Chain A
Amino acid sequence: MVEVEEVPMEAAPVQRGAAVEVRELRKEFTLRDRKKGRFGKRTRVALDGVTFSLERGETVAILGQNGSGKSTLVRLLSTLLLPDGGSATILGHDVVAQHRAVRRVVNRVSVEASFFKKMSAAENLSYAARFYGMTAKQTRGKIPEILGRVGFPHDRRDESMENLSRGMQQKVALARALLTSPVVLLLDEPTTGLDPRSKLEVQDFIREIRTSHDSTILLCTHDLVEAEALAVRVGILDRGRLLCLEPADEIKRRFGAATLEEAFFAATGREFEAEGDEDDDREVLA
């Protein structure tokens, strides 16, 4: 492991008018601890004073292993979790105090496509759009258009989701997120588990979103190539701490590494693919 000085993320300037501002964000979970007896409990820190900001229109990738806190970060920004400390704002709206305003401008795609599986793609998109105030008149033309854009076959639009491949489901998940025209798009391992072709198609679509929309994208992934290919800046999140957040070349240079994988190893002291053995923690933190 290369000895490096930790980047003082706390001192990083937060831009005025940034799309996402996160300051000293902290989240911990209480877990059952069998070693401490039947009712034993322990605290596990999922996010430990994370600070960063995202400019409008910027794409940033956060790299981290299972249980590093990536999904906790996404869920906090999605208003699905309450922080234990610090703050996060999206377009100036606090994710706790102004969660309704945040919800209007944020959408996400997670590792699981998550649909009502007996319902068709069109039906799933239709009811989801209503939750964002879109009427039937507004979605009648928009749903076929957006499904077409993600490369979803027209003749399978009314087929149950359960009959679609994982790759196809993930395309519908991207369509669902884009249907509401989010200003901030949170992507939580959107290509994990996809076959290589579907993975490339989803990545191409993310590129298209980046160029054709004014969306700010936060991509949480453990795919180093994907992070480097899609993001302007890359962050390394390890055990709830954001070790750095800068362009991939800067990270490699700072850690004296030839590849992002080597840089990750140098920063965290761990092999990138190595899995922790704390299954309970992963269940809560994932």
Chain B
Amino acid sequence: MRAMMGTLRAELVGAGGVVERNAYLTKRYIWWDLAWFAWTVANTLTIVFIAKGIEATGGSLDVNETMTTLLIGAVVWAYLGILFMFLMETVAWERWEGTIEYTFMAPLSRAMHLAGQGAFAILYGLIRAAFLFVVCAFVFFDLQMPNADYFAAFVVLVISSVSFIGIGMMMSVLPLISPEKGPQLGFVAQGTLLVVSGVYYPVEVLPEWMQWIAKFSPATYALDGIREAILEGQPVTAMWDEIWPLIIIGVVSIPLGLWVFSRGEQYAKRHGKLKRSG
């Protein structure tokens, strides 16, 4: 029992080490991060302005509600992008810096290694998503959200993050298999996930086969839940329809993500790809 507690403690310290390292890196690259944030704001604005553009060209719509709907989609898109980016960097950045062999030969279990990477990604992504939402909603557009339950929206985003991390783990193995092109496939996963999940439109407008796939995407429930919380003021207690699928997808995706990563690691170890030059 004592040995088990010692091992668990060492594992938690190790996962904390991953968080610590990412905090150092964020501190060192903070100006680049701000530049990246400015790009995300610009990108989000181009999407939210679409609602104003439709109104200006004679379209009939509730501009405030449509802009908020689009903003939520853009923020979730950006959030997912950050989570996947951090997880893809589990391998890609380490390979680029040359530390990959030292990290992968350390006695830290892969589960805790990826958990540490995921925990930092969620923390960093939530802060960034909150800033992005506030800057766009209230600095640029002065959107009105009188009924918004921000806490409920936050809870849904946090719960959905577990599923996103599981999917990100599966994606993060790609740079192990293809050092040159693997990291770019993370964008493919992000785009594919969101296109079926109703990122800027209701899922109902999609072809039937895409609607069927949407049922298995955590982003579908995340977007639904956050929109209900922000636009309709639904509390967490009224979100069970969104929360239970997110929990089930999370319970399945995390072990599946770890399994896929471990298969990729075995492949890399067999073929000599677990090293800095690929």
Seen from chain A, the residues whose Cβ lies within 8 Å of a Cβ on chain B are 29-30, 72, 75, 78-82, 100, 103-104, 106, 108, 110, 112-119, 123, 126-135, 160, 176, 283-284
Contacts of A78 in B (CB 8 A): 101, 105
Interface footprint category on B: 35 or more
Known: A104-B107, A116-B24, A119-B28. A131 touches B274 (CB 8 A): no
- The one of A81, A131, A133, A135 in contact with B103, judged by C-beta atoms closer than 8 angstroms, is A131
Q: Is B16 in the interface zone, CB < 8 Å from A? A: yes
A127 x B20 contact (CB < 8 A): yes
Show 17 A/B contacts (Cβ-Cβ < 8 Å), sorted by A: A75-B275, A79-B105, A80-B274, A114-B276, A115-B99, A116-B97, A118-B28, A119-B24, A126-B17, A127-B21, A128-B17, A130-B18, A130-B20, A131-B14, A132-B108, A133-B9, A135-B13
Minimum distance in angstroms from B249 CB to a CB of chain A = 30
Measured in the bound complex, the distance between the Cα atoms of B106 and A79 in whole Å is: 9
Measured in the bound complex, the distance between the Cα atoms of B106 and A78 in whole Å is: 9
- The one of A106, A110, A114, A131 in contact with B17, judged by C-beta atoms closer than 8 angstroms, is A131
Complex interface residues of chain B between 3 and 43 (CB less than 8 A to chain A): 9-11, 13-14, 16-18, 20-21, 24-25, 28-29
A114 x B107 contact (CB < 8 A): no
Contacts of B99 in A (CB 8 A): 114-116
Number of A-B contacts (CB under 8 A): 102
B25 x A80 contact (CB < 8 A): no
Seen from chain B, the residues whose Cβ lies within 8 Å of a Cβ on chain A are 9-11, 13-14, 16-18, 20-21, 24-25, 28-29, 97-99, 101-109, 266, 269-272, 274-277
A80 x B97 contact (CB < 8 A): no
Q: Across the interface, name the chain B residue whose C-beta is closest to A134.
A: B13
Residue from B20, B28, B102 whose CB has the most chain A CB atoms within 10 Å: B102
Measured in the bound complex, the distance between the Cα atoms of B105 and A104 in whole Å is: 9
Contacts of A100 in B (CB 8 A): 107, 109
Q: Across the interface, name the chain B residue whose C-beta is closest to A106.
A: B105
Contacts of B108 in A (CB 8 A): 131-132
Residue from A103, A130, A176 whose CB has the most chain B CB atoms within 10 Å: A130
A114 x B97 contact (CB < 8 A): yes
B105 x A133 contact (CB < 8 A): no
Contacts of B276 in A (CB 8 A): 112, 114
Given contacts A78-B105, A80-B274, A131-B103, 13 further A-B contacts (CB under 8 A): A29-B271, A79-B105, A80-B105, A80-B269, A81-B270, A103-B105, A103-B106, A114-B99, A123-B21, A130-B13, A130-B16, A130-B17, A133-B107
Measured in the bound complex, the distance between the Cα atoms of B20 and A154 in whole Å is: 22
Measured in the bound complex, the distance between the Cα atoms of B98 and A227 in whole Å is: 26
B101 x A110 contact (CB < 8 A): yes
Known: A131-B14, A133-B13. A81 touches B269 (CB 8 A): yes
Q: Across the interface, name the chain B residue whose C-beta is closest to A46.
A: B272
A103 x B101 contact (CB < 8 A): no
B16 x A115 contact (CB < 8 A): no
A133 x B14 contact (CB < 8 A): yes
Q: Across the interface, name the chain B residue whose C-beta is closest to A78.
A: B105
Contacts of A133 in B (CB 8 A): 9-11, 13-14, 107
Q: Across the interface, name the chain A residue whose C-beta is closest to B10.
A: A133
B109 x A75 contact (CB < 8 A): no
B25 x A118 contact (CB < 8 A): yes
Q: Across the interface, name the chain A residue whose C-beta is closest to B11.
A: A133
- The one of B20, B98, B104 in contact with A80, judged by C-beta atoms closer than 8 angstroms, is B104
